[in-house]
Structure 1
């Protein structure tokens, strides 16, 4: 393996005690923007030391100052390298984006072993203009309580949350960052030959497939809007199944399905047996779906298999919130769309692991009973969950706009420096969802994830299906 190190080293004995940084914070891979560098700059301004390990070409282009080290070794050698680096540099905190990225899963275990605090961040539960920042990770690894009374007790002591949208995210800006970042990493073999991007699809293929969808987006949206309006006017009970991205880490490692088609098959079978004969089921594609998975073919085949071809509708576009407001219920694997559905009073049934899958918030009945007796969310429970999340594990802002990055980076730096992430009320371990995850056979450790990687769906399996 090849390692590039800074020539300048700081040692605790070379400076007066007053100048020794209170914390040494290491940043690993972030989102496709300069957001982590902004957080690091804010921490430095507070008197702390920051470091960065670059894993790929895009990482290096986003951040390559004196604080950076390039890791060019293999994923197999990564844990040993990282452990040595943490010890040598006296690292107190490791910060990373997407806790299920293999390098980050390994980092979490190394951090736990050394008593180093691990902070994971992601897109927010309370979107559109919030990010999530949690100790250890999200979903299965989240420390957010799974006991509603505990949540309500903690929330009562907190002030109300102003949910005014302040930092509007710009879709094209986020998409442009994603495209450039992933295309750059297609050339990692030149300078980071052993980097494992852990992608289901090659980025070049992904964007070639996405282009026709971008060009036809307006047409698809018009057709979808007409279908949605017709379904609402029909007054038939209508259930929604919003699809996630097949490449989504929440689906790959926090749900029991090798491919989303498995979840569709389970839902269609239950709907055919137990839903009212007049009920309709809408399968809505993710707005950023790349067009790689043959969802039309898959949905038609499964609907025919279960005898509900005329009751299942595939929607590619339109307004999801409009659908949710008029729906009898929504079924999803573990998308954060579930929180948006709950917010508008739509009953939700979660199939996988989700931090918001709580009694009083989502339906706790078996799926077969959900179709006839969907449990509506309790408004007080939702307000308590929202309040505790906002204060303990959410930060307002985003990763791409100037004002959104400034707000979120500054606040995240303050929370890292002050040790207030997951506080108040969400920092008690162990993670309460680990036992259920193990019972479902979900990967929990780094080794589990490596074993599970060969089981996730690949595009050609979908086309064959």
Structure 2
């Protein structure tokens, strides 16, 4: 406490943020509220977007990072650590340092209630989320809360995000000598990743036209069908919050079960992610698996088109842990989660084994879906975006206010311990920094194409 009885000013340490100036904007808003802010740059991309008096650089090894960070926090009186993408190895280590020192750690990411929302959670997300998974607790906490603001206020073109991403990641490749020990937590090297997107962007309109026709055909056939929207193979949530190293492992598990149990008239539709880079040969992979299990004529691969339309007419949806699961719940579609997801809650998603899902998938409780969204919006969602000036400032102001007030996850959505963590451990998911370090061979590949 200060002499006048007011609480001492908080000291917020920012680690990596989304490519761009959003993290710096949040820090500016915190300083307007009387807080001190610091930043540690880990790579050239960090420095490019933020290099003022508040910044320090770490150029040591990932192995030495925890010890260095602990000393930095003690020396500078850090009270809070803020980071984007909680399972990035540097941030996993930081969360453990924060827990050891009694600091408040807060993670943020793209919002669950997209578009125009940012997720802001105490501690971490998915397996490490402190958001409750007890439906009765969610209902009670959501009672009387207002409906989320569903207006789309901060539209931005794809290039606004792409320019920031390319600048950040290519800086780390071309200027690597400036931070020689930085470990890029990327599944693909940025150069083939970005180059492979060019033909897909050029052919996007044609793909969407073809996909729209195929969706029409699937719906018009009148047969029950199940939808599996694929995530990006490079999605860190896939790698660090599921038991799969590759999406094809999940796809094989699903196709094997579908072939064995699903009604003979049913079809299975895989829909590629709209930002898939084309490195993974999904059509080849999925057709090969369909042939292997004797369901080649019952499995479709759709590249483009409207996912919501598919979900509204589907007999069920499957996901590893994508936020598209919330879209499926909103569409009243029975949904099966294969990994760890915040919304994998009794009454919302199917809790039965996969083999039972095809014939007896449970529809989500409509009122519980509404309660979940109201509680999300009030406690761990911030209205705003990373890539427009207006959206960035709106999000940064609200985020700064919540950080200063200590109201993240409040009221009613702050468990004492992560309620999904034990399930993650049972699945064999790496949940600690030491476990991630032992698993480093899964990152930074030119291609992680399906192995036979």
Which of residues 87, 94, 101 in structure 2 aligns to 1:107? 94
- The residue that corresponds to 1:449 in the other structure is 436
* Alpha-carbon distance in 1 for matches of 2:324, 2:377: 17
Identify if the C-alpha distance between structure 1 residues 454 and 301 changes in structure 2 by more than 3 Å, giving closer, same or farther: same
Number of aligned residues? 452
- The residue that corresponds to 1:404 in the other structure is 391
Instruction: Please give the TM-score of this superposition, normalised by the length of structure 2.
Output: 0.97
- The residue that corresponds to 1:368 in the other structure is 355
Quote how far apart the aligned CAs of 1:455 are. 4.5
> Does the residue aligned with 1:371 lie in a helix, a strand or coil?
helix
- The residue that corresponds to 1:5 in the other structure is none
- The residue that corresponds to 1:309 in the other structure is 296
- The residue that corresponds to 1:378 in the other structure is 365
Alignment of 1:21-32 (within 5 A): 22-32=9-19
1:186 and 2:173 aligned = yes
* Alpha-carbon distance in 1 for matches of 2:205, 2:80: 45
Which of residues 222, 231, 246 in structure 2 aligns to 1:235? 222
Could you give the per-residue CA deviations for residues 278-307 of structure 1, whole angstroms, max 9, x where no partner exists?
111110111111111111111011000000
Identify if the C-alpha distance between structure 1 residues 438 and 20 changes in structure 2 by more than 3 Å, giving closer, same or farther: closer
- The residue that corresponds to 1:135 in the other structure is 122
Alignment of 1:62-73 (within 5 A): 62-73=49-60
1:48 and 2:38 aligned = no
Which of residues 74, 78, 81 in structure 1 aligns to 2:61? 74
* Alpha-carbon distance in 2 for matches of 1:159, 1:224: 37
- Maintained 8 Å contact 1:274/1:371: yes
1:327 and 2:314 aligned = yes
1:336 and 2:336 aligned = no
Quote how far apart the aligned CAs of 1:266 are. 0.3
* Alpha-carbon distance in 1 for matches of 2:3, 2:352: 62
* Alpha-carbon distance in 2 for matches of 1:34, 1:70: 17
Could you give the per-residue CA deviations for residues 221-268 of structure 1, whole angstroms, max 9, x where no partner exists?
111111011111111101100000111111101001111110000000
- Maintained 8 Å contact 2:79/2:103: yes
- The residue that corresponds to 2:333 in the other structure is 346
> Does the residue aligned with 2:430 lie in a helix, a strand or coil?
coil
Quote how far apart the aligned CAs of 1:54 are. 0.5
Identify if the C-alpha distance between structure 1 residues 99 and 461 changes in structure 2 by more than 3 Å, giving closer, same or farther: closer
Quote how far apart the aligned CAs of 1:310 are. 0.6
- Maintained 8 Å contact 1:102/1:449: yes
- The residue that corresponds to 2:257 in the other structure is 270
Quote how far apart the aligned CAs of 1:21 are. 5.5
> Does the residue aligned with 1:362 lie in a helix, a strand or coil?
coil
* Alpha-carbon distance in 2 for matches of 1:294, 1:29: 31
Which of residues 381, 390, 412 in structure 2 aligns to 1:425? 412
- The residue that corresponds to 1:246 in the other structure is 233
Could you give the per-residue CA deviations for residues 136-176 of structure 1, whole angstroms, max 9, x where no partner exists?
11000000001000110111142333322222243221122
Quote how far apart the aligned CAs of 1:181 are. 1.4
- Maintained 8 Å contact 2:246/2:450: no
Query: Which segment drifts farther, 172-181 or 90-99?
Result: 172-181
1:98 and 2:98 aligned = no
* Alpha-carbon distance in 2 for matches of 1:382, 1:46: 35
* Alpha-carbon distance in 1 for matches of 2:324, 2:222: 23
1:259 and 2:228 aligned = no
* Alpha-carbon distance in 1 for matches of 2:77, 2:144: 36
- The residue that corresponds to 1:7 in the other structure is none
* Alpha-carbon distance in 2 for matches of 1:18, 1:410: 26
In structure 1, runs of 5+ residues without a counterpart are 1-11
Query: Which segment drifts farther, 109-118 or 440-449?
Result: 440-449
- The residue that corresponds to 2:159 in the other structure is 172
